Amino acid sequence: MFQQAKEVVSTDLGPDELPNGSEFTAKIAASSAKIRKNGGLSFNVKLEIVEAGHPYEGGEIWDSLHLSAGDGQGGFSKNQLQYNQRLFGKLQGAGLSDEFFASNPSNEAIAKAIKGNVIRVKIQWQEPTDDGRIFTDNTTTWSPLDGAPAASGGGGYVPSSGPTKGF
């Protein structure tokens, strides 16, 4: 279910401009959190390319991060855990530490904490949908600007209180 709930449509740039594997420096220009109908958590994030001299400097794409809610009984499949690892990898790539999450921040606090951060993005795209929409893939990575590799996401960390109660 969550594996098919990938990322939000780009508003400006797509795979023609930024082919799979393209890397660029981006600012998290906007970020919001919401609980999805299936109980999972979603962060919608607008990335603005801020890399000086990049041919698409100022261009924007949307990325959406989803946290799997599991099976509703506290269980998570291997795929759901891997999906959650990618989400936490992106959040750590945007500068959020294990110490930040240890404070049990609200979903809104997480969205606010990443807004304005500058990151390195390596983009991956899904195949176009039947109606022609193109989504970023959940394997798109965010890394700290210093070039360090993206964090692993804490080994599949899953909040014990569930995504509707924050982290």
Which of the pair, 51 or 84, is modelled with greater confidence? 51
Is the pLDDT at 130 greater than 90? The verdict is no
Q: Residue 89's Cα: distance from chain center in Å?
A: 8
**59, 13 Cβ separation under 8 angstroms:** yes
Segment of 112-121, 122-131, 156-165 carrying the highest mean pLDDT: 112-121
Q: What is the mean pLDDT of residues 98-116?
A: 90
User: Which of 22, 45, 43 shows the shortest CA–CA distance to 34?
Assistant: 43
pTM for this entry: 0.76
Q: What is the pLDDT of residue 82?
A: 78
- Distance in angstroms (rounded) separating the CA atoms of residues 163 and 42: 9
Which of the pair, 51 or 87, is modelled with greater confidence? 51
Q: What is the pLDDT of residue 164?
A: 32
Q: What is the pLDDT of residue 150?
A: 42
